[in-house]
Amino acid sequence: KKILIVFGTRPEAIKMAPLVKEFQKDKTNFETKVCVTAQHREMLDQVLEFYDIKPDFDLDLMKPNQNLYSLTADIIVGMKPVLENFSPDYVFVHGDTSTTMSAGIAGFYSGAKVCHIEAGLRTYNKRAPFPEEINRQITGRIADYHFAPTTTSKNNLLKENTAESTILVTGNTVIDALMYSVEKVLNLENNLEIENLKTIVDSNKDLVLVTGHRRENHGQGFLNICEALKTIAETTNAQIIYPVHLNPNVQKPVYEILADVENVHLIDPLSYPAFVWLMNQSKIIITDSGGVQEEAPSLGKPVLVMRDTTERPEAVEVGTVLLVGTNAELIVNETTSLLTNNNRYKKMSSLHNPYGDGKASKRVVEFILKN
């Protein structure tokens, strides 16, 4: 069987890498090729290097001032020769990006079976997250097979009349990636990025790690977030380390408000292994990222999510994640409470992770073998 795995952004690469490796292991049954759209160029390449994945097709679509109209069109048109050249039986896409939706449509046009990894996440709020909710809903309509990370996501698909026989609950491949990486990161010697982080981390302080990039938070949201981080740095004993996303809508407010604040360290986005190392060193993580809220509980780190709604309610239900929106007061109060209330902290950091056991990719490959 011919398998084409398509992705374009950093989080997709992290979550698809274990699947690429798993399919590549079985050369008797599968011919596996990787196509990157390079929706995020630099951040994608770091992940490919870490996993030693060499794309067979590279659409190299990142442009200055990328917009959704041309990106969507370019991906569909760019996929045509790839699909005609390789004629895959199965096209795998992941999650909720423009790459996911556009490569899904292109795969459908080619006649391949479209397989959606991390299927069934929903907010049912068309504009939050924007444009991800619509990307994932459309991909759900296109896909022939749906690999849902949890039963909650499977139930969303069933509610939409998706045939049960086409859905498999697998756990999230992000945990496969994390388990592989934690082991590798702990054995890494003389990694320059990690050595550099060691010079920044102050072991006498509680480390608060921050990431953020969601479009829905651009503008006032990021201004509130930055004001909250400033207050936390000024009023607690915490050290804040913040790898700042490369999007100019994020860079501008963050550097304007936080560049000169004591105890706040703004750094470039980290490669995945260095980020895993830093997550492991941190006490609390504040983020609007989807992947980070899934990873952190496996490392025993409480997460504050700077969003009003989440398509990942499982962790909120279990209690490893708190939704704080972009309300500055709430971010400051919850962070301060976790930094000072040891019982609350211990309880939150010892809860189990609802997102899987690290065997999601194996389950996907077994399913395809049987079908």
Active site residues: 96, 118, 132, 213, 215, 245
324 close to 290: Cβ distance less than 8 angstroms: no
213 binds ligand UDP (CB under 6 A): yes
- Which residue, 308 or 366, is less far from ligand UDP as judged by CB? 308
CB of 273 to ligand UDP, least distance (A): 8
Binding test (CB under 6 A) with ligand UDP, winner from 17, 36, 292, 321: 292
Instruction: Name the percent of the chain in helix, strand, coil, to the closest 5.
Output: 50, 15, 35
- Which residue, 113 or 307, is less far from ligand UDP as judged by CB? 307
106 binds ligand UDP (CB under 6 A): no
Size of the site for ligand UDP (CB under 6 A): 16
CB of 323 to ligand UDP, least distance (A): 15
Q: How far apart are CA 103 and CA 73, in angstroms?
A: 10
Binding test (CB under 6 A) with ligand UDP, winner from 5, 182, 270, 304: 270
How far from each other are the two terminal CA atoms of the chain, in whole angstroms?
11
**Which stretch in 53-61, 159-167, 255-263, 286-294 sits in contact with ligand UDP by CB under 6 A?**
286-294
50 binds ligand UDP (CB under 6 A): no
CB of 163 to ligand UDP, least distance (A): 28
What distances in angstroms separate CA 337 from CA 171, 229, 331, 343, one per listed residue?
31, 14, 10, 10
Q: What are the start-end ranges of the H helices in the chain?
A: 10-25, 41-51, 68-86, 98-110, 132-142, 151-159, 173-186, 192-200, 220-235, 248-258, 272-281, 290-295, 313-318, 328-340, 342-349, 360-370
269 binds ligand UDP (CB under 6 A): yes
Looking only at the bridges linking them, the beta strands covering 90-94 and 2-7 are parallel
303 binds ligand UDP (CB under 6 A): no
Tell me whether the omega of the peptide bond preceding residue 248 falls within 30 degrees of 0, making it cis.
no
Binding test (CB under 6 A) with ligand UDP, winner from 8, 11, 88, 325: 11
Task: Give per-residue burial for 158-190: e unless 16+ CB within 10 Å, then b.
Answer: eeeebeeebbbbbbbbbbbbbbbbbeebeeeee
**Which stretch in 76-84, 85-93, 187-195, 290-298 sits in contact with ligand UDP by CB under 6 A?**
290-298
Residue with tokens 């309300």: 327
99 binds ligand UDP (CB under 6 A): no
Q: Name the 3-class secondary structure at 341.
A: coil
Q: How far apart are CA 21 and CA 112, in angstroms?
A: 21
CB of 27 to ligand UDP, least distance (A): 28
Q: Among candidates 277, 272, 230, 223, which has minimal Cα distance to 250?
A: 223
What residue type is assigned to position 216 of the chain?
A: E
Q: How far apart are CA 196 and CA 351, in angstroms?
A: 31
221 binds ligand UDP (CB under 6 A): no
286 binds ligand UDP (CB under 6 A): no
**Which stretch in 7-15, 138-146, 225-233, 336-344 sits in contact with ligand UDP by CB under 6 A?**
7-15
243 binds ligand UDP (CB under 6 A): yes
Binding test (CB under 6 A) with ligand UDP, winner from 118, 176, 227, 295: 295
Residue with tokens 């490369």: 246
Structural Rg of the chain based on CA atoms: 20
123 binds ligand UDP (CB under 6 A): no
CB of 26 to ligand UDP, least distance (A): 25
Q: How far apart are CA 275 and CA 267, in angstroms?
A: 11
Q: How far apart are CA 285 and CA 279, in angstroms?
A: 8
CB of 293 to ligand UDP, least distance (A): 8
Residues 156-185 that bind ligand UDP (CB under 6 A): 174
CB of 294 to ligand UDP, least distance (A): 8
51 binds ligand UDP (CB under 6 A): no
Residues binding ligand UDP (CB under 6 A): 10-11, 14, 174, 211, 213, 243, 269-270, 272, 275, 289-292, 295
